[in-house]
Amino acid sequence: MIPRCLLHPISVKQLRQGHPWVTLDAYSRRFPTDSSMLIGLDDKKMEVGTLLHDPRHKTVRARLWSKERGYPEKNFTQDLELRLIKAREKRLSLESFKNRENRYWCFAEGDEIPGLMVLQLGERFIIQFYALLWNDHKELLKKLLLKTFPEIDEKKLWLQARSEDGSGQKSPTLWDETPKSEQFIIHENDIRMHVRLGESYDYSVYSDMAAVRYALRPIFQKSKRVLNLYSYTGAFSLLALKLGAERVVSVDLSAKYLAWLEENLLLNDFQGEHASMKTSTENALKDLINKKEQFDFIICDPPSSSSDGQKRTSALQSYEVIWNNLQKLLAPEGLLLSFLNTHTVSMPKFEKHLRGLEDNRLQIQKKYHLMDDCPTIKGFHEGNYLKGILWK
C-alpha cells in the first residue's frame, strides 16, 4: 500500500495547476522516509496525485508521477518503460533531431519522467539524475534503458548523478561510477565540436540549445556579418561560418573557452574569417563601435549571473549596460537575439525589462524557448528556463 499523506495547500494548488513538485515544508518534512511513493491528499483527503518521494533531496521532496486515482504501485516499472518508449518515439519523429549527436532522448518532467534526463553525446549516453531517488532505481533503469533504446551500447553508458550533500550535479562517470575523462568529436548538423566528458560538470557544448540553433539556420543563412557575444566554445560562431558568414566575431572573457573555440574552428571547413576577442562584452562593444563595425546578426547570451571579482551582475543588469551599444552595432536591417538562461525571470518580465530600456529602438520579431527534444510543461517555470527574443 502506498502511504497517503496530507500536502500543504500551496502544493495542492500548484500540483493541480501543472507544477509537478512538492518542495520542503512543514507537511513534506513529515512524509514517511521509508517510502519511495506517496499518495498526496488535499485537506478534504481527496487524492491530488501519486508522487515519487525524494526524502534526501534538500528542496524537492516529491515529484508527480501520476494523477490517476488509486494508482497501483505495481504499475511503476511498466509505466516507466512506456514513458521511455514514448520519449524515444517522440524524438524519432522530430526533424531537428535527425542530424546531430548531441541530443536529449528524455527531458525529465517534459517527458513525464521527473528528474531524469537521457543525453546522447556521440556514441555515449549520459543518464543525468536531477532527483536523488533515481539512485535507488539504478539497476531497474539500466535494464529498461537497454531494453527500450537499441541506440545505447552498455559499454558506453555514463552516469551523471546528483550529490547527496546538496552541491548539485557531479561530473559524469561511467555507469558503475568509475571516474573517467574522454575527449571526442561530435557533429551537430553541419558543425563539428569537441566534447570533454568527465572533467567537470561543463562538457563544452550546450545541448539544450541545439534545437534552437537548428531553428535559427534561416537567419544565419542570410547573415554575412555575425557577432557572437558570450560565445563560450563557439557553437553559434561555427554555425554562422558554416552557413556562409563572411566575418564572425566571438567575444568571451574566458581564455580557456576561447582556446576550445579555436580548436573547434580547426575541425570545420569554411570560407569566412573569424576573430576572437578575449575581453568583456562591454569593452568589446566599445572597441567594435570605434572601428565602425556593423553586424547583420548579433547573438547575446550572457550568464544568468556573473562576477568580476568585486560585484555580481545579473543578465538583466548586463543588458542595461550594453543595450545602447548593441543597437549602434546593428546594420540597418540587422537582427539581435537576446537570450536569458534562468527560470527566475519569466518571458513577460524579460520582455518588459528590455522594452523599457532607455532608447530602445528595436521591435520584437519572434520569441524562442526550449523546444523539440527539450520539451517543457505548462505551469512549470523551473523547466522553462531558456528565453530568447529576436529584435530588429
Minimum CB separation from ligand SAM for residue 156, in Å?
24
Strands 124-129 and 157-160: parallel
Minimum CB separation from ligand SAM for residue 195, in Å?
13
Kindly give the residue spans of alpha helices, DSSP state H, lying in 224-297: 235-242, 255-266, 281-290
Q: In sequence order, what are the residues at sequence separation of 6 or more whose Cβ sits closer than 8 angstroms to the Cβ of residue 321?
A: 282
Residue of the chain from 280, 338, 376, 384 that contacts ligand SAM (CB under 6 A): 280
Minimum CB separation from ligand SAM for residue 39, in Å?
40
Residue closer to ligand SAM (CB basis): 167 or 307: 307
Minimum CB separation from ligand SAM for residue 26, in Å?
37
Binding mask 318-357 for ligand SAM (x = CB under 6 A): -----------------------x----------------
Q: Does 301 bind ligand SAM (CB under 6 A)?
A: yes
Q: How many Å apart are CA 364 and CA 352, to the nearest integer?
A: 11
C-alpha gyration radius of the chain: 23
State the DSSP string of 129-158. Answer: ESSGGGGGGHHHHHHHHHHH-TT--GGGEE
Q: Does 380 bind ligand SAM (CB under 6 A)?
A: no
Supply 244's cell numbers.
556562409
Binding mask 41-70 for ligand SAM (x = CB under 6 A): ------------------------------
How many residues are present in the chain?
A: 392
Binding mask 201-240 for ligand SAM (x = CB under 6 A): -----x--x--------------------x-xx-xx----
Supply 237's cell numbers.
560562431
Residue closer to ligand SAM (CB basis): 223 or 341: 341
Q: Are 201 and 169 in contact (CB under 8 A)?
A: yes
Residue of the chain from 160, 223, 281, 376 that contacts ligand SAM (CB under 6 A): 281
Residue 305's DSSP bridge partners are 314
How many chain residues are in contact with ligand SAM, going by CB under 6 A? 18
Minimum CB separation from ligand SAM for residue 66, in Å?
35
Q: Are 351 and 369 in contact (CB under 8 A)?
A: no
Residue 295's DSSP bridge partners are 330
Give the Cα-Cα-Cα angle 39, 44, 46 (nearest 5 degrees).
Answer: 35
Helix (H, G, I), strand (E, B) or coil at 174: strand
Minimum CB separation from ligand SAM for residue 232, in Å?
4
Residue closer to ligand SAM (CB basis): 251 or 288: 251
Distances (CA, A) of 242 to 191, 218, 280: 7, 12, 25
Residue closer to ligand SAM (CB basis): 50 or 281: 281
Choose one: 70-78, 249-257, 264-272, 370-378; the region binding ligand SAM (CB under 6 A).
249-257
Q: Are 173 and 138 in contact (CB under 8 A)?
A: no
- The H or E element containing residue 302 is none
Q: Which parts of this chain interact with ligand SAM (CB under 6 A)? A: 206, 209, 230, 232-233, 235-236, 251-254, 257, 280-281, 301, 303, 306, 341
